[in-house]
Amino acid sequence: MKSFIIRVAKISDSKSIVNLINELAEFEKEPNSVKINQKDIENDGFGKHPKFKCFVAEIEGKVIGMALYYPRYSTWEGPTLHLEDLIVSKIYRRQGVGKSLYLKFINEAKVNGFNRVEWAVLDWNIDAIKFYESSGAKILSDWRTVQMTKEMIDNYTFLNKKKIESL
């Protein structure tokens, strides 16, 4: 494989980022779950108030992988960096690209004084689990991810409108 570089993503990478997100959704057996588009990435990642940061892996001007992350705050640990997605295009996997993106993310947390990094991994993604464990990460088996979609948020707040108004 030709040599690759890891760099901070730019707004011009937005289309490639969306393509990688869609590739990840396919891999995770959720091909119709991606609701965002290139404009969302441009606004949310590179607008006036960015909601995330991203490193990309590139070969000869082509983005082949990414690590998308953002800060959080733990009431137990303090500043935390959350890795939302780490993806490398299928044909470039097992060549050190993912490990380099991962290392860049971990180092970002270290040099910026974060006390913890965290992310989720699907229980059937055995290769990823083995990789993370080999890096010294601990897989928490007693926690479950909880989510509400926009529709669920709307429904819940609608049902509790009077309570919300009194707050």
Assign 71 to helix, strand or coil.
Answer: strand
Nearest CA among 113, 105, 107, 73 for reference residue 87 = 105
Which domain does 84 fall in, by range? 5-166
pLDDT digits (tens, 9 = 90+) for 94-135: 999 999 999 999 999 999 999 999 999 999 999 999 999 999
DSSP 89: -
Give the pLDDT confidence score for residue 2 in this predicted structure. 81
Assign 84 to helix, strand or coil.
Answer: strand
pLDDT digits (tens, 9 = 90+) for 9-58: 999 999 999 999 999 999 999 999 999 999 999 999 999 999 999 999 99
Q: Write the CATH number for 22.
A: 3.40.630.30
- Distance between CA atoms of 56 and 131, rounded to whole angstroms? 19
Told to judge if 132 belongs to the known catalytic residues of this protein, a careful annotator would answer yes
Give the pLDDT confidence score for residue 48 in this predicted structure. 95
Overall number of domains in the chain: 1
